[in-house]
Amino acid sequence: MRQIFLDTETTGLDVKSGHRIVEIAAVEVCNRQLTGRHFHYYLNPERESEASALQIHGLTTEFLQDKPKFPDICEAFIQFIENAELLIHNAPFDVSFLDNELALCNQNTLSSYCTEIIDTLILAKELHPGKRNNLDALCERYQVDHSHRVLHGALLDSELLAEVYLRMTRGQDSLLMDFDTPVPDISTDEALKGLQLVVLPADPSELERHAKCLEAINKVSKGNCLWQSLND
């Protein structure tokens, strides 16, 4: 499976107010392995960034004035993401800006070029309800080093998101056991001899959280959650 992890930085929060993309980046993952291929450009948005946006990404008008405009890189961008699964944190924000840029180039919407768009923020909220699920919080939760993330940068954030996603979803792989592999002959009675086993039943709230976690895993694995199939 070919997946593209994507991020943008913009001049402001509202695309309807004429804000534009100032940086775009995407990294490629194939079969759950980073390939080293990436797409990255700083862009001249042909307008000023709001002060609040500038504090986030630090990309000044002076720095961006000699950079390409989105139409200059549009075709290369489409070629990079075409027929891949796109994964974006808080996808509606980035998709709205990319749809706008594509429309200005007389191109189709983003979803028409990829197989699916997955919002990793929704996935994180399903796995960790009631907790902080921004990129920094997820990096800390999954022990992904983000100490060099002082300002937001599209390329760095795409790479961090890929690392977080692979760790967030790796448990499913470990459940895909090979039943053809010989199992050592171990006597259960001998192994448990002398042990005092205490079984604590899950309370209703724990069962509900467990069900939501399985549902999220099943969604990510496209219906291949082993635990759910065993319980069917």
Domain count, the chain: 2
Same domain, 142 and 209: no
Same domain, 90 and 164: yes
Same domain, 147 and 221: no
Q: Is 223 left (phi over 0), alpha (psi -120 to 50) or beta?
A: left
Q: Is residue 79 part of a domain?
A: yes
Of 171, 188, 220, the last residue of a domain is: 171
Same domain, 118 and 212: no
User: What is the structure's pLDDT at 205?
Assistant: 80
Query: 44-101: per-residue pLDDT in tens?
Result: 999 999 999 999 999 999 999 999 999 999 999 999 999 999 999 999 999 999 999 9
Helix (H, G, I), strand (E, B) or coil at 8: strand
Same domain, 93 and 147: yes
DSSP code per residue over 146-189: -TT-SS--HHHHHHHHHHHHHHHSTHHHHT---TTSPPP---HH
pTM of the model: 0.74
Q: Is residue 187 part of a domain?
A: no
Averages of pLDDT over each 10 residues, the chain, 232 residues: 96 97 97 95 97 94 97 98 98 98 98 97 95 94 84 90 94 42 52 67 81 76 69 62
* Cα–Cα distance measured from residue 110 to residue 86, given in angstroms and rounded to the nearest whole number: 10
Residues 6+ apart with CB under 8 A from 109: 99, 102, 103
Same domain, 8 and 92: yes
Same domain, 157 and 61: yes
Q: Is residue 176 part of a domain?
A: no
Same domain, 158 and 205: no
* Cα–Cα distance measured from residue 192 to residue 25, given in angstroms and rounded to the nearest whole number: 54
Q: Could you give the residue numbers annotated as active site?
A: 152
| Residue 59 CB neighbour total at 10 angstroms | 24
Q: Is residue 27 part of a domain?
A: yes
∠ CA 179-201-212, nearest 5°, is 65
User: What is the structure's pLDDT at 156?
Assistant: 92
Same domain, 25 and 115: yes
Same domain, 162 and 215: no
Q: Is residue 10 part of a domain?
A: yes
Q: Is residue 189 part of a domain?
A: no
Q: Is residue 177 part of a domain?
A: no
Q: Are the C-beta atoms of 146 and 139 separated by less than 8 Å?
A: yes
Q: Is residue 74 part of a domain?
A: yes
Among 53, 52, 48, residue whose Cα is nearest residue 64 = 48
Same domain, 108 and 221: no
* Domain housing 81: 2-171
Same domain, 164 and 213: no
Q: How many angstroms from the chain centroid is the CA of residue 96?
A: 17
Burial group, residue 186, by CB count within 10 angstroms (0-12, 13-18, 19+): exposed
- Residue 68, domain CATH: 3.30.420.10
Q: Are the C-beta atoms of 212 and 123 separated by less than 8 Å?
A: no
Tokens describing residue 45? 């948005």
Q: Which helix (H) or strand (E) holds 65?
A: none
